[in-house]
Amino acid sequence: MAASKARSPGAFRAAVQTVRFLLRPQNRGLVLTAAVIVAAVTGSIYAWRRWGQPAMRSAEYVVTPERITVTPQPTWIHSNVKAEVLRSVGAQQFDLHDRKLVEQLAQAFVLNPWVNNVIRIQKRFPAQVDVELQYRRPVMVVKLDAPEEQGLLFLDAASILLPSADFAPSQAKSYLRIMASGETPAGIYGTPWGSERIAGAARIAAAWSNRWQPLGLYWIVAARSAGGELVYELRTQDDKVRVVWGVAAGHESTGEPSVEQKIAALEQYVRDKGPLSRDGAPSLIDLRELAGSAAKTARLKGGAQPSNRR
């Protein structure tokens, strides 16, 4: 207690000396500046709490699902991709100020099996988020070892497995198909099938787009050659006509006709000769030879010199 009482007068004298120092004429400017700064800071804090924070929490910064626009879905997707993604996130609204919002949404969308790529996500005021997506497109059906039209699985050009719930069995007729031959997918929807044979067939199906239908093609078949490489064929539904394609699209050997040359050659053949399954038609057509012959003829025609008429 004695020590505390002894310090009290000393502390009081020090405080008095500090005040006298600050009140000296040469120090009044410094004191005034400090007072202005303190007042400004205090006023800013009050203004932020009074008006700033409520404004930041206003509806103009609250992004609801209705304020998130997504690239329109193509006709072959029947599920609601945006709704599925937002359900997976587990949030009913988002803060436009959240610096991680774009990354959060991008990660959620890219996990959807129908989304091939998240091209861009942009935040806009007031309370708007625009999502630009590239969707996957089915190109081929894999027929599992099941009766009739059961066991149909749909793949895109990269052999990514697409959600079966979005397809009716009747839709399978719109795509080339290959038999699974005992294979099953290696993963879940949104992941590759996991087979070299199926991946190659998917690339061929993608190359044809819808041009195979007028030609009466139906199946893709693959077998190992003597050299061990996969050689593909396309066949009619009745399996009476075999059209040898060759190796998977994009893996052609030097001198082998291109994908477009092969497709164009078969189209021209059907225009010239008639349907593949016509009476008396050959049961085997090798597109490598057919397209090669067509390309050679085109080169000869292109290089022919006009005759001099006298």
CA 100 to chain centre: 20
The whole domain housing 176 covers 138-302
Q: Are residues 264 and 117 located together in one domain of the fold? A: no
User: And the tokens for 137?
Assistant: 């497109």
Q: Are residues 116 and 143 located together in one domain of the fold? A: no
Is residue 15 domain-resident? no
Q: Are residues 109 and 234 located together in one domain of the fold? A: no
Q: Are residues 167 and 269 located together in one domain of the fold? A: yes
Q: What is the pLDDT of residue 48?
A: 46
Question: Mean per-residue pLDDT for 232-243?
Answer: 95
Q: Are residues 121 and 216 located together in one domain of the fold? A: no
Is residue 32 domain-resident? no
pLDDT tens-digit map of 76-122: 999 999 999 999 998 889 999 999 999 999 999 999 999 999 999 99
Q: Are residues 202 and 232 located together in one domain of the fold? A: yes
Q: Are residues 298 and 159 located together in one domain of the fold? A: yes
Domain count, the chain: 2
Domain stop point among 119, 135, 151: 135
Mean of all residue pLDDT scores within the chain: 86
What CATH number is given to the structural domain containing 102?
A: 3.10.20
Q: Are residues 168 and 212 located together in one domain of the fold? A: yes
pLDDT tens-digit map of 260-293: 999 999 999 999 999 999 999 999 999 999 998 8
Domain stop point among 135, 156, 176: 135
Domain stop point among 135, 166, 184: 135
Q: Are residues 129 and 154 located together in one domain of the fold? A: no
Is residue 65 domain-resident? yes
Is residue 26 domain-resident? no
Is residue 252 domain-resident? yes
Q: What is the pLDDT of residue 307?
A: 45
Give the pLDDT band of residue 252 (cuts 50, 70, 90). confident
Is residue 17 domain-resident? no
Give the pLDDT band of residue 310 (cuts 50, 70, 90). very low
Type of residue numbered 23: L
Q: Are residues 285 and 163 located together in one domain of the fold? A: yes
Q: What is the pLDDT of residue 297?
A: 73
pTM here is 0.76
pLDDT tens-digit map of 24-62: 666 666 656 766 676 666 655 545 455 555 544 568 899
Is residue 33 domain-resident? no
Question: Mean per-residue pLDDT for 171-198?
Answer: 95
Q: Are residues 148 and 273 located together in one domain of the fold? A: yes
Q: Is the pLDDT of residue 19 over 60?
A: no
Is residue 50 domain-resident? no
Q: Are residues 175 and 243 located together in one domain of the fold? A: yes
pLDDT tens-digit map of 110-129: 999 999 999 999 999 999 99
